[in-house]
Amino acid sequence: MISGYAHNGCNSETLEFFDMMCDSGVKPNRVGILSVLLACGNLGALRKGELFHNYVIKTGFGSDISVATAVMDMYAKCGSLGLAHTLFDQTTGKDVVCWSAMMASYGIHGDGKNAINLFHQMVKEGVRPNHVTFTCVLSSCSHSGSLEEGKKYFQLMREEFGVVPKLSNYSCMVDLLGHAGQLSEAEQLIETMPVEPDVSIWGSLLGSCRIHGNIGLAEKITDQIFQLNPFHAGYHVLLSNIYAAKSRWIDVEKVRKMMTRRGTKKVQGFSFIEYK
């Protein structure tokens, strides 16, 4: 139940069920610990995460590489990147998942340089990267705006390491090219890649169209998006905002009417803060 809640994004319920389990006298196992650390990271619940880290140390779970990686990931997601790296350095027997998680941590903090340095350190120590590792590297390049670096590592994937790019890798490249203003190149990459594009990869390019004000490409992309998922409210709103930025109010009204006709509703955004 705890794992199910955690992997379906029900983070508060994950923590509640974990407390219920402990209150009933059942001792947490590895799966429970991994689940609550994931929930704490998603919630940004640093103090709660510190309590679970303390439990990990007391019970000896820290010797489990998956648990050690989860603790490190939790701290990074809660904003404590320095502490995450300290724990990473202290971890012995690091596997490709641990290395990749640390690279991803640098990526979400916009530190592409350290993510790439870590990649080279990993290769030097004889750990072979996989497609997830390259997703982390390419994502880091995207967050830090390092276009040429991203292109270089996307090429190295297949040529030097024999890793066949997956949809997540292409998605990172589309995001990287789009944010750099290379919209035509990003579109061409989607159309020529050997895997079938999903709605999120087109949505990523649509987001870039909004940044760079390319209405023509945005209209073309939304045709693809609405064929794949005609009821996704977020992409309707994004197209509406692109029109609004160019003061095309008639088109804004058309998109809003289309949403009403299809019965799509925008989900409200919300934020969490930790109180006491």
CATH number of the domain bearing residue 193? 1.25.40.10
Q: What is the pLDDT of residues 45-80, one digit of tens each?
A: 999 999 999 999 999 898 899 999 999 999 999 999
Q: What is the pLDDT of residues 119-144, one digit of tens each?
A: 999 999 999 999 999 999 998 888 88
Residue 205 maps to a domain? no
Question: Structural domain of residue 28, as residue ranges?
Answer: 1-92
Greater pLDDT, 144 or 186: 186
Give the pLDDT confidence score for residue 80 in this predicted structure. Answer: 93
- The number of folded domains in the chain is 3
Give the pLDDT confidence score for residue 224 in this predicted structure. Answer: 85
* C-alpha to C-alpha distance for 242 and 147, rounded to whole angstroms: 24
Residue 191 maps to a domain? yes
Residue ending a domain, among 32, 60, 92, is 92
Beta carbons of 141 and 109 less than 8 angstroms apart: no
- Quick one: 146 and 68 in the same domain? no
Residue 206 maps to a domain? no
Q: Is the pLDDT of residue 274 over 70?
A: no
- Quick one: 131 and 160 in the same domain? yes
Q: Is the pLDDT of residue 268 over 80?
A: no
- Quick one: 262 and 249 in the same domain? yes
Residue 155 maps to a domain? yes
Residue 204 maps to a domain? no
Residue 275 maps to a domain? no
Give the pLDDT confidence score for residue 77 in this predicted structure. Answer: 94
Q: Which residues of 23-55 are buried (b: 16+ CB within 10 A; e: fewer)?
A: eeeeebeeebbbbbbbbbbbbbbbebbbebbee
Residue 273 maps to a domain? no
- Quick one: 257 and 222 in the same domain? yes
Residue ending a domain, among 143, 171, 197, is 197
